[in-house]
Each structure stands twice: as structure tokens, then as C-alpha cells.
Amino acid sequence: MHLALIMDGNRRWAKRQWLVKMLGHSRGGDAIERVVEWCVERGDIDILSAWALSKDNIKKRESAELSHIYDIIRDRLPRLMPKLLDNGVSFHTVGNLDLLPDDIAALLQDITHQTTRGNVMKFIITIGYGWQDEIVRAVQSMLSEIARSDDPRETANMIASTLDEAVFSSYLDTAKFPHPDLIVRTGGHERHSGYWLYSSEYSEYRFTETFWPDFSRKELDEIMSEFTARTRNFWK
């Protein structure tokens, strides 16, 4: 089972608490650490993906706010890694790491490498991700493959003649993971924002008013109980 989280509401949580928005991101970091542990304890979640930072966030957020978020990543991920190793969790990323500071990208790749043997649960951080960007980069990959070939015309004809949904999806960041079964968005906004867009045709959605830093084990369990009771009449 693949549970995908859109972790929304950090800044609004801080505003409601009369706190600076930076603290909202820090508390959001606390929340994701807790949720990873809860999902491992439940034992029925094979893949947990969490949208940490979109491409638009990177392009449009103030530099001071982004710097604070990057500092949280620098602090929390090394601290989380022993827990991942102890619990058999493999770490993965989805998104354009070229948008990130070099040291952040290197840290993400290092933790991915060190946790490859984890076979209990996959934990995916979606960072530098946008669905339009994912599709554009997939097309760029196909064009680069054509340009690098010994016979570009023949390669282009071959790709064109075999291109279908499955072939196209193989060029996407999300291609190596199963489609999300359930996408949960916290923070009260009822929109998907393109999260796992190409892969979410049959995903179930659940929107909650809870701001991400307040997301609880009780709410996670209630959401999962509701999901398992749903009838999903489709061929996946």
C-alpha cells in the first residue's frame, strides 16, 4: 500500500500560534519524523511518500525561508537515518535535485545509498517536484536519448512507433514506484496540486482540516481505517 502525503499548513499553523513561520516548518519536520515511525509500526504501509518542497516553493519562497527549510533538512535527515536503518526503511527521492543546493542534493543521495537494503518500507521525499516539470524533463530525456544515438532519425522513429502510456511513464521521476493508493492532504485545501499526477488516475483522496504539525497518530489510524473500508472497483 502506497500512502502519499501533501504536508500542508506549516505556515498557517505558526500564524495561528502567533509564532514566526519558520517555527511552523520546524514543527513540520518533527511531524514527518513521527509519521515515518507510525507507518513502520502499523505494518500495512509499504511505501510512504511525502511532498516536502515543490518546484514553485523553491522558485517563489523568500530566500530566508528557503534557507531555514534547507537547514531543517541538514539537521533532521542525518538524525533520521539511524532510525531508517534500524527499522528496515529504504530512503528515496522524487523530483529535480538540480534545483537544490549541492550539499542538500549530496545528502539526499548519500542517505539513499546507505539505506538501500531496507526492505520493510520505502520512504520517499518528494522535493524540487512539480508535475509539469516532471513531464517536461521526461520529454527532454527522450530528446536527449535521440540526440546521443548513432542514428537519431532511426531512434526517433523507434520511440515514436513504440510510445504508449507505459513507455512514456518510464521517463518520469515517479516511474520506479507503484502508484499511490491514497493521497492525503492536510491543511484544509481540497486540491491535489499535481502531486503524482501521471500516476494518480485511480488514487483515493482524503483532505483534512488539520495543519501538518498537528497531524496525529489517531488521525492517521482513522484515515487508514476509512480507506480500507472503501470499495475500489477498478483494475489496477
DSSP 170: T
How far is residue 188's CA from residue 13's CA, in Å, rounded to a whole number?
11
20 with 77, same domain?
Answer: yes
Question: Is 73 inside a domain boundary?
Answer: yes
Residue 84 has pLDDT above 50, yes or no: yes
How far is residue 115's CA from residue 111's CA, in Å, rounded to a whole number?
6
**How far, in Å, are 90, 97, 222 from residue 206 at the CA level?**
25, 28, 11
The confidence score (pLDDT) of residue 28 equals 87
Domain count, the chain: 2
Q: Could you tell me if 188 and 10 are in contact, meaning their C-beta atoms sit under 8 angstroms apart? A: no
Cell numbers for 220: 492517521
The strand pair at 182-185 and 47-54 is best described as unpaired
Cell numbers for 108: 539526499
Which contacts qualify for 162-171: CB closer than 8 Å, 24 or more apart?
A: 168/138, 169/198, 169/199, 171/138, 171/139, 171/141, 171/142
Q: Please give the radius of gyration of the chain, using alpha carbons only, rounded to the nearest integer.
A: 19
List the domain range (segments joined by +) for residue 142.
130-177
Question: Is 234 inside a domain boundary?
Answer: no
83 with 169, same domain?
Answer: no
Q: How confident is the model at residue 25 (pLDDT cuts 50, 70, 90)?
A: confident
108 with 141, same domain?
Answer: no
157 with 197, same domain?
Answer: no
Question: Is 233 inside a domain boundary?
Answer: no
Active site residues: 8, 57
The confidence score (pLDDT) of residue 117 equals 93
119 with 65, same domain?
Answer: yes
The confidence score (pLDDT) of residue 230 equals 79
The confidence score (pLDDT) of residue 235 equals 47
For 126-175, the pLDDT digits (tens) are 999 998 999 999 999 999 999 998 898 999 998 899 999 888 988 998 88
Q: Could you tell me if 173 and 195 are in contact, meaning their C-beta atoms sit under 8 angstroms apart? A: no
Please give, one letter per residue, the 3-state secondary structure of 37-90.
HHHHHHCCCCEEEEEEEEHHHHHHCCHHHHHHHHHHHHHHHHHHHHHHHHCCEE
Residue of 122, 112, 129 lying closest to 48 (CA atoms): 122
Residue 82 has pLDDT above 80, yes or no: yes
The confidence score (pLDDT) of residue 233 equals 64
For 177-216, the pLDDT digits (tens) are 999 999 999 999 998 898 988 888 889 999 999 999 999 9
Residue 219 has pLDDT above 60, yes or no: yes
Residue 236 has pLDDT above 60, yes or no: no
For 102-124, the pLDDT digits (tens) are 999 999 999 999 999 999 999 99
The continuous run of DSSP H or E covering 148 comes out as: helix 131-148
* pTM of structure: 0.89
Instruction: Detail the DSSP E strand segments found in 156-223.
Output: 182-185, 204-207
Residue 27 has pLDDT above 90, yes or no: no
114 with 45, same domain?
Answer: yes
